[in-house]
Amino acid sequence: MKKILAAIDFSDCSINAFKHALSIAKITKSDVEMIWVGKPAAQKDKFIDDPSDMSKEAKAQLEAMITKYQPELPETKLTFKIRKGKVYKEIADEAKALKAFLVVCGTHGASGFEKFWAGSNANRIVSSCDCPVITIRAGINIQRSLERIVLPIDSSPETRQKATFTGFLAKAHGAEIHVLKVYTSKGKVLRGDVDFFAGQVSRYLEQEQIPFIVTTVEAENLSDATIAYAEKVDANLIAIMTDQESAASNIWMGPYAQQTVNHSPVPVLSIHSRELMTIMTS
């Protein structure tokens, strides 16, 4: 059985992300596990008298969510796990233990529970998890079905690797993929690489009988161009590789990926090029 891990901190943003996870789970017939991460009891917080009280409240709220949302997954299970420690590390460890094929999380929150989630952990979650991660900012309409996915193609060889998992989601949802050739240079060699890689992705999508269109844009910034195009076509998802344009300060999360995760008003699917994706079908 396929499994999806949904990070919960009870903010509106994380509940929004959780509902996206439910939508994907219904179509892919996947179990969903919610995870809430609190601080270890030894860690003090001047705003909270007893951290264990937060764990008890979290457990009660998670149980209430199962009662409310389990009917939306008639063929699969909705469960939860409570962990203590660093948010991104615990989520990554749980995703590995669960053998999750996908993690879904919000990029920020503002509830009382958010005191445990100091700042945005989204980039750390993306860089720490071995499986693909969908990050969703607050305010995204959860009712929209997955109809259009933007797949930006640049001059890096890794850019092609996201096609397999993105194609899996597109086929499951009956979505159309927009192969976006992004030219960031006037150099013929680099532009030729973009064309070549886009051609390979197009042939793969054609072979898998996934509807797609190919569009070309000139851009100075990959992230800005991709987000602008996604908004223009009213896309429901942007698929990126997290290793592109890697920086010494963060080898797994280059500036393009960081910008997209942090600023995109459209959900972002982040995939590591270091992994070989296997979709669990049992």
Q: Is 225 helix (H, G, I), strand (E, B) or coil?
A: helix
Handedness of CA 179, 199, 102, 105 (dihedral sign): negative
Handedness of CA 112, 114, 118, 120 (dihedral sign): negative
In angstroms, rounded to a whole number, what is the distance separating the alpha carbons of residues 222 and 245? 10
- At 251 the pLDDT is 39
Contact 258, 123 (CB under 8 A): yes
Domains and CATH numbers, the chain: 3-136 (3.40.50.620), 148-253 (3.40.50.620)
CA atoms within 13 A on the CB side of 55: 13
pLDDT in tens, 185-222: 999 999 999 999 999 999 999 999 999 999 999 998 99
Among candidate residues 237, 170, 161, 153, the one with its CA nearest the CA of residue 209: 170
Q: How far is CA 171 from the centre of its chain?
A: 17
Q: Is 60 helix (H, G, I), strand (E, B) or coil?
A: helix
- At 254 the pLDDT is 67
Q: How far is CA 166 from the centre of its chain?
A: 11
DSSP class per residue in 118-186: -S--HHHHHHH-SS-EEEE-TT--TT----EEEEEE-SSGGGGGGHHHHHHHHHHHTPEEEEEEEE---
Low-confidence ranges of the chain (pLDDT < 50): 42-43, 45-49, 109-119, 244-252, 275-282
- At 41 the pLDDT is 56
Note if the pTM is more than 0.75.
yes
Cα angle 142, 9, 280 (rounded to 5 degrees) comes to 65
- At 274 the pLDDT is 58
Q: Which one-letter DSSP state was computed for residue 101?
A: S
